[in-house]
Chain A
Amino acid sequence: MPGGPLRATGTQHPPMTASAASTPGAGSPAEPSWARRLAAFFHRQPRAALALLLAPPLGWLLIAYLGALAILFVNAFFRIDPFTTDIVRQPGLQNFERLATTEVYRAITLRTLGIAAAVTITTAALGFPVAYYMARVASRRTRNLLVVGILLPLWASYLVKVYAWRVILAEDGILNWALAPLGLKGPGFGDVATWLVFSYLWLPYMILPIYAGLERIPSSLLEASGDLGARSWMTFRRVILPLVFPAIVAGSIFTFSLTMGDYIAPQLVSSTQFIGNVIYANVGSSGDLPFAAAFATVPVVVMIVYLLLARRLGAFDAL
């Protein structure tokens, strides 16, 4: 980086003013107070000020988060003594071997990834028209109302929303009641229910980034496309969609990650297992923590690859 690896943006004034800032105020002819001297010290030593600012958040995330993650992944290489259920600290790959060779775990991983992908596509398909209407058609007043209307349910208790769907999809629930006159029946509990509930839960996470992405497209660009002879569909496909794609990817980070790590919704509206259910079942006194830790590496690796790809596609600027 030019001018050394470190530069405080606040120290860019000409030398005169910089020295003026570190002299005591006009009202204090005596020795400057310790606070004032400390301020001057940090002003002259931006590196010290930066270290002081960064140490708490960085320390927290490195110790409480990455440190805990590291301990988890070390555990993934240990195994459990089948008789005492104590953790035997002899590193080996047996947990990963078990994951790769057992048919059930492969099926669970594929189901989890498949439903996560289906949920991502569904939310994008449902969310795009709403986001488009909000960003480019609705009046300012309607738009603000819609933003709050989409935002609020995002924060309404997660568990309550899953229970609501449990009640809706139940045998004597409102869905079967509404479909009965048509001679139809709801999906009941199972993978379809899981897909539906996840799509419901994460829909706002998809709508909001797409809305923000669409709003950032200048109208002049669309007018230019029209002036150059593009019909509306052409403008949509060649101008709007490429520009809003990073925002869709940004939304998909949430829909994909949240689906992949969840175990509560599948447990409540289905009897099939997700990666999270296996992990959950193996944590605790009767479980196999090393195996749970090994299985947890699957969503972590998938998400890190996903995040790196998303960053390439410019999704981080659209977050």
Chain B
Amino acid sequence: MPSGALTRIGLRVATAAVLAFIYIPLALVVLYAFNVNLVPSWPIPGLTLEWWTRALANTGVREALLSSVLAGLGATSIALLLGSLAALAVHRYRFFGREAISFLVILPIALPGIVTGIAINSAVGTLGLGLGMATVVIGHATFCVVLVYNNVIARLRRSAGSIEEASADLGADTWQTFRYITFPAMRSALLAGGLLAFALSFDEIIVTTFTRGDVQTLPIWIFNNYRLANQAPIVNVVAVIAIALSVIPVYLASRLSSDAAIAR
């Protein structure tokens, strides 16, 4: 094991450098949200809170935030239901095509988002239906299922099946066993998976672009307004808010599931 003093110092320096690489751009965004100057040049001349009051008063931002929350809640609810059903089926039963289920669940997130996006777009067009909040929710739910599925199946694998058998032996029926044994064991995994699904949906832009019709989510609002010169500082404020709103659920999720492996 390379654990000489020199190697350790090298690894420490490399880790510090990568962390700086990750965090300096994010810190800059926060700083620019207080920038006096309208254009984001460097060095910045001074700090102000003006953009914050303007951003909070902006109705477009508030509507976009509401749409994002609605889409996130809709997609998360569907993902929670579908992901836990699939996890229960794969965990409990041995059946033909069982391996294919894990593959199918991963596929929407492993294939590029633009493919999911135009697939739904062209399917809706071909069937003569309209784009809107419903198609955004459908698109988001499709790639969010895997987050719930992964969290729940990992939890089911860790929890002892003998407890469920004991419950059945003591006379509990399927519902009672689910209500008193299985569900409590799954609860924190559901919460963690749900929070991750919400965060992913909240931040999504590519699938949204193709499925949204005229719905404006927060990332779409940011994308459309960044190019307008007089909106740029407000966009920075919204960016800081967006970072906070997607990071908080993930922080909570990581506290809930001791797993480090909650990468998408």
Contacts and interface: CB of A to CB of B under 8 A. Distances in A.
Interface of A: 1, 5-10, 12-13, 17, 20-23, 25-26, 35-36, 39-40, 42-43, 46, 49-50, 53-54, 56-58, 60-61, 64-69, 71-72, 75, 126-127, 129-130, 132-134, 136-137, 146-161, 163-165, 167-168, 170, 172-174, 177, 200, 203-205, 208-209, 211-212, 215, 219, 222-223, 226, 232-233, 235-236, 240, 253-254, 257-258, 260-264, 276, 279-280, 283, 289, 292-293, 296, 299-300, 303-304, 307, 316, 319
Interface stretch (B23-31, B50-58, B59-67, B183-191): B23-31
A133 B251 contact: no
8 nearest A-B residue pairs (beta carbon): A261-B112, A39-B173, A232-B2, A164-B25, A68-B123, A129-B14, A57-B86, A39-B174
A69 B169 CA distance: 46
B65 to A, nearest CB: 13
Given A157-B243, A205-B264, A258-B112, 8 more contacts: A10-B165, A21-B171, A61-B104, A69-B115, A164-B26, A173-B41, A219-B1, A303-B110
5 contacts: A39-B175, A72-B119, A130-B18, A159-B203, A262-B114
Given A5-B96, A39-B175, A156 B247 contact: yes
A157 B25 CA distance: 12
A311 to B, nearest CB: 8
A1 B172 CA distance: 30
Nearest to A143: B260
B222 interface: yes
Contacts of A7: 93-94
B158 interface: no
A54 B206 contact: no
Interface centre among B88, B95, B104 (most CB of A within 10 A): B95
Contact of B22 (A153, A208, A260): A153
Q: Is the interface of A mostly helix, strand, loop or mixed?
A: helix
Given A56-B81, A69-B119, A71-B122, A133 B26 contact: no
Interface residues of B, number: 104
A72 B242 contact: no
Nearest to B260: A147
Given A61-B104, A159-B222, A254-B264, A146 B18 contact: no
A45 B113 CA distance: 39
A232 B116 contact: no
B106 interface: yes
A157 B122 contact: no
A157 B246 contact: yes
A64 B14 contact: no
A66 B104 CA distance: 9
A261 B11 contact: no
Contact of A46 (B10, B93, B96, B138): B93
A316 B107 CA distance: 12
Contact of B115 (A54, A61, A200, A296): A296
A23 B84 CA distance: 28
B8 to A, nearest CB: 6
B151 interface: no
B206 A261 contact: yes
B170 to A, nearest CB: 9
A223 B43 CA distance: 52
B82 A158 contact: no
Given A36-B173, A64-B138, A157-B239, A300 B264 contact: no
A65 B145 CA distance: 12
A152 B168 CA distance: 41
Nearest to A25: B171
Contacts of A262: 112, 114, 206
Contacts of A233: 2
Contact of A159 (B11, B42, B223): B223
A262 B250 CA distance: 23
A281 B111 CA distance: 20
Nearest to B161: A9
Contacts of B112: 257-258, 260-262, 276, 299-300, 303
